[in-house]
Structure 1
Amino acid sequence: MDIFLKNKNYRKFTIASWLSSAGNILFYLALMTYASKLKNYALALSLISIMEAVPDLLQSIGGYFADRTKNKFQVIIRLAIIRFILYMIVGALFVTNIAGWNLILLVIAINFISDVSGMYSSGLQTPLIVGLVGEKEVSVAEGFTGGVSQLISMGAQFVGSALLLFMSYSSLAIVNALTFLVAGLIYANIAKNIAKTPAKDELQTVNDQNFLATFKSSFNQAKQAHGLLTIVIVVALLNGVLSALEPLISISFAANKNMLIGTFSFTIAIFGAVVSIGTALGSAIGTKLLKDTSLFIIILLDTISGILMLGSMLMQNSIACFIFGAILGFFAGTASPKLYQWLVQSVDRKILASTMGALSTILVIAGPLTNAIFSSIAGTAGLNYALIGLIALSAITFLITLIVMFKTRNNKQAEVTAE
């Protein structure tokens, strides 16, 4: 919070990011609502979800090109303007005679181009944010902005639902377009301010290595930070557990009526809000309260929370589910910024976006994989088998984290002794 209030350029950067994120959520909700009214709505909704996920799998490539980009601020501004134009086109398409599947395919294609542009823009922003706040304050800064982003995302969904009652799909597309235009103007203002500072060259680092050499350097630098690569795999497993929990909690509430608080939809909404608030508090407050606490300890606590929550689901205790769900979200929200800071301090700024992209791809892949596996187990063998399997995976994650933590401590102690 202090960094946000005191660092003017970082504050503007964050507000621009929040704006475009909120606009995206509003439009995504509108797009899903339109698709849900088509004849073959299941296929349309699945196609939208798949196309939304694909850019996340391309983060390593996007990060590489981001690191090679000169004049990063100028490119970020241009990308914001391009996304403004794209959604203005979408707004126009919604008022034409094109309808149904022809319209949805066109909009999905434009939305995909925008999402890829957004992924590339995020890669460009990564080293700039580190330059604006400093390596030592990255976890606190990103924790705060990530926490507020969680709350904005939650609020935008409710606002979007309300706006759809009296606003057209075209209007919401235009609102989304305008958020990118305003964000672009804010980025332009930051670039103007930065150009006047002596440290402006530090924000324009450029990677001149080829693709393979870049990732070899990324791997070698990350490997030198004892435990970093292993902890990324551990966090990927943890992300997988969290992802698999989402469908299982819905199945659990549907199968056990005694767990419901009012209706099924209300219970799901309350649970989602509780976890989101926990994650937001972890990102915004946890990173500051636990600034000196080891990332390993936080992951261990998060894993224990997950096991207790899964146990609560087995015991059909919804109140305990809510409590442990909030705690799980809190530690997950705290862990992500701390991992980000560890990475920032371990890798050369010139290849930071490439490394972030590669590691993010690992983190992203785990979610859909575990989701599919445990959802399938719940659908074929039964919910309890899926829950027990997820508890076993959580226990394995706990043990791996514990082993890596002790190995990392021993390596550091050996280095100190050698010196």
Structure 2
Amino acid sequence: MTIFFKNKEYRKFSIASILSSAGDILFYLALMTYASRLKNYSLALSLIAISESVPRLFSSVGGYLADRTQNKFQKIVWMAMIRGALYLLVGFLFSQNIAGWNLVIMVIIINFISDTAGTYSGGLTTPLVISLVKKDEIAEAEGFTSGVSQVITLVSQFVGSGLLLFMSYSALAVINGLTFIVAGLIYYKIAGSQRKKGIATVTQEVDDRGFWATLVLALKQVKKASGLITTVLVIAVLNGVLSTIEPLISIVIAGNRQVMVIGTYSFTIALIGAMAGIGAALGSIFGTNLFKKVSLYFIIIFANIAGASVIIAILSKQIWFCLITYCILGFFAGTATPKLTQWMVGAVDHKILASSIGLINTILLIASPLMTTAFTTLSAVTNVQYSLLGLLIVSILLFAITVLVMRKSAQKAQ
């Protein structure tokens, strides 16, 4: 967190990123609320969810394009302005007398375009953060921005639901558009400041390979760093465990309401999600600095112990122990990802850094939905107990693999 207060340029950059996240979440909630009132609301909500999730799978493409971009600050300014204009257009559409489904389809398309542009902006972000902070501060910087974004996500959900009581859908879309425009202006100001200082980060050396050649090279460089690719896969599965626990615990609570419900069922489910989010936010903001000199392997081991503890708590139907251990799991998972980024920055060629991070992000993103689908399907076909036991076995295997990789890395270092 100290980097936010002592580094003026990074502070501005973080505020711009946080503004964009806050506006996006407010509008997403408004769109979901509007779609929930349509006749065939389940289809509308599914389409919105797809329009939000599919662009994230383009992280590799976004990173590749970012690596080929010379003036990264200029492009991130343009992306913010374009996304702002798109949501101002959405605000205009909401103000017109357009039939429900026609309006939702148009907004979903615009939202998809904006989020796809967002993957390119995301690819530009890490190289720009690196240009603003010292090399050993990258994990702290990435962790702080990620953690605050998670806090903003939690807060914006409650704020958004309150704003919908007295603000129109059109107004919330306009607010989202304005947050992107303000973010773009902040990026523009940072670019101007960097240019005045004569820092050679505005125009950077770019990679000129083809998309697949770049990804192959990125994968080779990641594999070349001892233990890195295995660690990436372990963290991907760890994130999968984190995301799979929530739907499984929801099933267990539904069948054991008398002993596991706190207040109401819906409040209990919301509390579980909040605990994971709070833990991840605290890990990203404070964990990276607190465990700055601690090996990433130890962080993963702690996370695996926490994950196994959550599952045991669920099997034992101890709801308070579930909440505490789930928060701890979120904390260590939130700490691990920025430290992984720090390792990546030191391991790969900076000309293909965004492509490498995009490749890693794609791996991290794919694991969660695959594991959630697999274990929830197993629960539906057999019994939730089998899914939880399977997840416990996965956590134990991850623990063993992490210890094995850590020992091998230690032997090579000697």
> Does the TM-score normalized on the shorter chain lie above 0.5?
yes
Could you say what secondary structure the match of 1:229 adopts? helix
The share of aligned pairs that are identical, in percent, is 56
C-alpha contact (below 8 Å) 1:128/1:203 kept by paired residues: no
Structure 1: how far apart are the matches of 2:44 and 2:301? 40
User: 2:61 touches 2:355 (CA, 8 Å); kept in 1?
Assistant: yes
Code of the aligned partner of 2:37 = K
1:125-136 residue pairs with structure 2 within 5 A? Answer: 125-136=125-136
- Which whole-Å CA distance do the structure 2 matches of 1:271 and 1:205 have between them? 45
Deviates more, 1:165-174 or 1:204-213: 204-213
Q: Using the TM superposition, give the Cα deviation of residue 64 of structure 1 relative to its aligned residue in structure 2, in angstroms.
A: 0.5
Structure-1 separation of matches of 2:242 and 2:205: 36
Distance in structure 2 (CA, Å) of the matches to 1:351 and 1:280:
28
Partner amino acid, structure 1, of 2:172: L
| SS of 1:94 mapped into structure 2 | helix
Contact 1:9 1:132 in 2 (8 A): yes
Query: 1:216 Cα shift?
Result: 2.6
Partner of 1:390: 391
What do the CA deviations read for 1:88-135 (whole angstroms, capped 9, x no partner)?
110111121212211111100000000011110110121110111122
CA gap 1:203/1:397 in 2 versus in 1, 3 angstroms: farther
Counterparts of 1:272-283 in structure 2, within 5 Å, are 272-283=273-284
Per the TM alignment, residue 212 of structure 1 is displaced from its structure 2 partner at its CA by 2.7
Aligned length: 413
Aligned to 2:154: 154
Query: 2:194, 2:202 within 8 Å by CA — same for their partners in 1?
Result: no
CA distance in structure 2 between the aligned counterparts of 1:332 and 1:248, rounded to whole angstroms:
19
Secondary structure of 1:204's counterpart equals coil
Q: What is the TM-score when the length of structure 1 is the normalising length?
A: 0.96
Q: Output the aligned Cα RMSD.
A: 1.2
What's the counterpart of residue 124 of structure 1? 124
Supply the distance in 1 between the matched residues of 2:391 and 2:344 (Cα, whole angstroms).
Answer: 28
- 1:24, distance to aligned residue in structure 2 (A): 0.3
Q: What is aligned with 1:370? A: 371
Separation of aligned partners in 1, 2:395 and 2:126: 31
Partner in structure 2 of residue 399 of structure 1: 400
Q: How far apart, in 2, do the equivalents of 1:105 and 1:338 lie? A: 40
Report the counterpart of residue 205 of structure 1 in structure 2: 205
Give matches, 1:39-58, under 5 Å. 39-58=39-58
Q: Which runs of at least 4 in structure 1 moved beyond 3 Å after TM superposition?
A: none
| Counterpart-to-counterpart distance in 1, 2:76 and 2:67 | 13
* Deviation at residue 202 of structure 1 after TM alignment: 7.0
Q: Tell me what 1:298 maps to.
A: 299
Q: How does 1:151-190 map to 2 (within 5 A)?
A: 151-190=151-190
| Other structure's SS at 1:371 match | helix
The 5-angstrom pairing of residues 334-345 of structure 1 reads 334-345=335-346
- Asked if 2 retains the 8 angstrom alpha-carbon contact of 1:77 and 1:188, the reply is yes
Q: Any idea what the Cα deviations from partners look like across 1:343-395, whole Å, max 9, x if unmatched?
A: 01111111100000011111111111011111111122111111111111111
Q: Superposed, which structure 2 residues align to 1:250-265 within 5 Å? A: 250-257=250-257, 258-265=259-266
| Secondary structure of 2:263's aligned partner | coil
> Counterpart of 2:188 in structure 1: which amino acid?
A
In structure 2, the partner of 1:357 is 358
* Contact 2:55 2:116 (C-alpha < 8 Å) held by counterparts: yes
Q: Is the 8 A contact 2:246 2:272 kept in 1?
A: no
TM-score (norm 2): 0.97
CA distance in 2, matches of 1:317, 1:411: 43
